[in-house]
Structure 1
Amino acid sequence: MSPLNYLPLLCCLGNALASLTYPAQDESSPILQDRSIDKCVDFKIMALGASVTWGTHSTTGNGYRGPLEKLILAGGNNVAFTGTRNNGHMADNAVEAYPGYLISEVQAKSNSSGSYDYQPNVVIIHLGTNDCNLHFDTDNAPTRMVNLVQNLTAAIPDVVVIVSSLIPNLVADVETCILSVNSGFKTEMATLANSGVKVLYADMHSAVPTSDINPVDGTHPNDDGYQKMANVWYKSLRNAAKLLSAPNAEGKTGFVQPQSKVPACAGAVSTSGSSSSTVSPSAAASSTDIKLLNCGSESKCSTMVSPSGVSSDTSTQIFSKYRYECAV
């Protein structure tokens, strides 16, 4: 079995977060409420779009992908980006972005490039600014986005697609177009979601202020703007938690492993002494006498496996020695 299928013992602590209170979720809306991401979820993400997705005018070329990767890793999940192109200083810099292209052109390129063969479990899309820049049949831009989403979901089983609104533009007539297109995107994505398509709409426009847009071209974010975009994408991934499926094993890049799988909010149960006590993650990370926190009947990490060279002892379940297979 691939090492990607093994997560550290505390990965099932995500289930313990079920006791937290979240706002009521409107299942009929593609704009879902924020919730935690199970630590057993791996992300294989294709960032699809044009120059903003490419990372134009970011100092590293990473655009929003760099800060998004950091957010996902900090949350304790594995992540890999997929795509047929590469841009940016980050090691995992795969992307499916075509600067200057229209929605229909990006769909055609991503179809012919073989990007769908990588079978990501999430596709994030910021696309359509060039349709407004070039005044290309803008009334039908939302319909073209629907076609793109339907093409993706037909080609990639169980994929979750997140379509964002377009970020602000400093050119007045382009911004007017963007506001109209964003409204259409929101309406059409809601219709698709209500029909059973795994699609979400992310409000990117309100998250990126005009002060974070490059004043020379009026279109691309600066680094602060890209960070804000990453924040929106990450919140959207949390919103999509219930829709996510495990990624297909096929892919261009390997998963980037989080430095630690012990979430900041996690506790563990000490086996020392006659009574149990909760210990901090830092203590758990260095201890050899820590049992798994009882996740109850809903534990997603119920099957213990031992790394190479370590014998299994199901009665002890020592944190520092054993890893668990996520039963998802």
Structure 2
Amino acid sequence: MSRSAPHVRPAQALLLALLLVLGAVAALGGARTASASAAPSAAAAHPVRVMPLGDSITGSPGCWRALLWNQLQDAGYTNIDFVGTLPPQGCAVPYDGDNEGHGGILATNIANQNQLPAWLAATSPDVVLMHLGTNDVWSNIAPAQILAAFTKMVGQMRDSNPAIQVLVAQILPMDPSNCAECAQRVVAFDAQIPAWAASVSTAQSPVTVVDQWTGFDDATDTVDGVHPNDAGIAKMAARWYPPLAALLSQDGGTAGGTSAGTSAGTSAGTSVGTSSGTSVGTSAGTSAGTSTGTSVGTSAGTSAGSTAGSTGGTGSPACTAALTVSSSWQGGYQAAVTVTAQQAITSWTVTLTGVVVSQGWSGTFVTNPDGSVTVHSEPWNGTLAAGASTTFGFIGGSTAPTPPLTLTCTTP
């Protein structure tokens, strides 16, 4: 996206510092444990080809890609290849910078001008990371038109690779000085993405929604109300990592143990902190990133097991909860809890014992007098069909949980 302020490259020193933090995360055991089980146990026959697709937020220079690449490498996901027809841009650190981030581009133009097939033919991606729609929203194009363009592009992706997996972002908040309406337009657009993703997702070619909106502040995380600064690129990388790691675990071995309670096949909703592991079935619909979000879809099947750095939950017959720590640092960690319905439910409550929550999303968090934390479902993610899953996340205000915290899931 390149409409107003000139692109500002993230400060090299801060980017290097962020990567050092990622290294520290690995040393602390959040992203990579000391055990051999932390890295994929069996390399795929060929690298998993990942296409970052978007506008200038992805490509100019899009240094969230550098952070994400190095975080994946540190976690043991080395059998990957970032692909695109555009070359790397400077981010002060080594990384695989190939991408498909075209500054100023509109999703509707990509679709209307059939630009995507040539890019796909040149790169043959297995996974697409798609953060698109910012320029369309800025141009006051209706969400329905943007999502129709998304649908056409997903069809073209499947023509290229029937088993392609798509991670589509609920785009970053936007509040440029010359577009007073843009902020609310983003909210309206993001709110429709989960239902759209559920409608196009298939078991063979899942479409997973990644919530890049929640927790991102255009005032402090961008250079101009649109393009992410150093803090913003770190948040973007942190949001892409868990769902991408989950896909890579399926394609290239089990990373950090097998998945504890991850929803399977297709997840169309909030993907923050999704556990990495094997899965079955389909799950559609969690967060739209705001209170205006919607929840749609059903799921068939769940998965079970244990994850290094995660704690399996317990629950009533109606629902279960499982926690996965996606990253940690000195003094804190990020975790996700997957709630899975064992029968059709209209709301859920998860109680966490042994944790201090400094920030949470996709649930209503209440700290109880005894120190436990109760998380209640939101209106848009409480109704789940039997076997369906949804995910909420939080930042823990201490080191990664040791001893492991306990979880219980109940339905009021």
TM-score normalized by structure 2? Answer: 0.46
* Residues 1:207 and 1:37: Cα distance change in structure 2 (over 3 Å): farther
Q: How far apart, in 2, do the equivalents of 1:100 and 1:54 lie? A: 10
Q: How many residues align?
A: 213
> Amino acid of the residue matched to residue 82 of structure 1?
V
2:170–2:193 Cα contact (<8 Å) kept? yes
What is the aligned partner in structure 2 of residue 206 from structure 1?
A: 214
Work out which of the residue numbers 96, 101, 116 in structure 1 matches 2:100.
96
State the 1:242 CA deviation: 6.5
Cross-structure match for 1:178: 186
Contact 2:85 2:123 in 1 (8 A): no
Change (3 A) 1:14 1:84: farther
Partner of 1:75: 75
Correspondence 1:234 to 2:241: yes
Q: Does structure 2 retain, via aligned residues, the 8 Å contact 1:207–1:232?
A: no
SS at match of 2:104: coil
Deviation at 1:100, TM superposition (A): 1.0
Question: Which structure: greater strand fraction?
Answer: 2
Displacement of 1:195 in angstroms is 6.3
Unaligned runs of at least 5 residues, structure 1: 1-12, 18-35, 56-60, 247-264, 267-328
How big is each residue's C-alpha offset from its partner over 1:34-80, in whole Å with a ceiling of 9 and x where there is no partner? xx96552543211101110113xxxxx34211001011101111222
2:109 is matched with 105
- CA offsets, 1:5-37, max 9 Å, x none? xxxxxxxx99957xxxxxxxxxxxxxxxxxx96
Q: 1:86 corresponds to which residue?
A: 87
Q: Closer, same or farther in 2 for the Cα pair 1:214/1:134, shift >3 Å?
A: same
Aligned runs of 1:285-304 on 2, under 5 Å? none
2:221–2:231: 8 Å Cα contact kept in structure 1? no
Kept in 2, the 8 Å contact 1:14–1:39? The answer is no
Is the CA contact 1:50–1:106 (under 8 Å) kept in the aligned structure 2? Answer: no
Q: Provide the C-alpha distance between the structure 1 equivalents of 2:249 and 2:69, rounded to a whole number of angstroms.
A: 20
Structure 1 residue 158, shift from structure 2 partner: 1.9
CA root-mean-square deviation = 3.0
Q: Does 1:132 align with 2:137?
A: yes
After superposition, the Cα gap between the structure-2 partners of 1:65 and 1:181, relative to the gap in structure 1 and judged at 3 Å, is same
Distance in 2 separating the partners of 1:95 and 1:66: 11
Cα pair 2:50 2:125 within 8 Å, conserved: yes
3-state DSSP class of the match of 1:47?
A: strand
Q: Which has the higher helix share?
A: 1
Task: Report the residue type matching 1:188 in the other structure.
Answer: W
- Partner Cα distance (2:49, 2:132) in 1: 20
8 Å CA contact 1:200–1:240 kept in 2: the answer is no
**Cα pair distance change 1:116/1:69, threshold 3 Å:** same
**C-alpha distance in 2, partners of 1:149/1:14?**
38
User: 2 CA distance for matches of 1:102 and 1:111?
Assistant: 12
State the Cα deviation string for residues 229-259 of structure 1 (Å, max 9, x = none). Answer: 111111111343575479xxxxxxxxxxxxx
Contact 2:88–2:96 at 8 Å: present in 1 too? no
**Rounded Cα–Cα distance in structure 2 between residues aligned with 1:157 and 1:196:** 7
Give yes or no for contact 1:62–1:87 (8 Å, CA) kept in 2.
Answer: no
Residue correspondence of structure 1 range 9-28 to structure 2 within 5 A: none
* Structure with the greater alpha carbon radius of gyration: 1
The CA distance in 2 between the partners of 1:120 and 1:14, in whole Å, is: 31
Q: Equivalent residue of 2:99, what SS?
A: strand
Equivalent pair of 1:212/1:221 in contact (CA under 8 Å):
no
Aligned match of 2:128 in 117, 123, 129?
A: 123
The residue type paired with residue 67 of structure 1 is L
Q: Please point out which of 152, 155, 178 is paired with 1:150.
A: 155
Is the Cα contact below 8 Å between 1:164 and 1:204 reproduced in 2?
yes
**Cα pair 1:126 1:165 within 8 Å, conserved:** yes
Is the contact made by 1:170 and 1:213 (CA closer than 8 Å) also made in structure 2? no
Aligned-pair identity in percent equals: 21
Question: How many angstroms apart in 2 are the aligned matches of 1:164 and 1:48?
Answer: 10
Q: Is the 8 A contact 1:84 1:114 kept in 2?
A: yes
1:91 deviation in Å? 5.1
TM-aligned CA distance change 1:211 to 1:242, over 3 Å: same
2:181 is paired with a residue of what secondary structure? helix
Number of the residue aligned with 2:55: 50
Name stretches of at least 5 consecutive residues in structure 2 with no aligned partner. 1-33, 254-307, 310-412
SS at match of 1:66: helix
3-state SS, counterpart of residue 139 of structure 1 = helix
Measure the CA separation in 1 of the matches of 2:119 and 2:182.
32
User: In structure 2, do the counterparts of structure 1 residues 38 and 118 end up closer, same or farther at CA, with 3 Å as the change threshold?
Assistant: farther
Structure 1 contact 49–106 (Cα < 8 Å) conserved: no
**Which of 1 and 2 has higher RCO (CA within 8 Å, sep 6+)?**
1
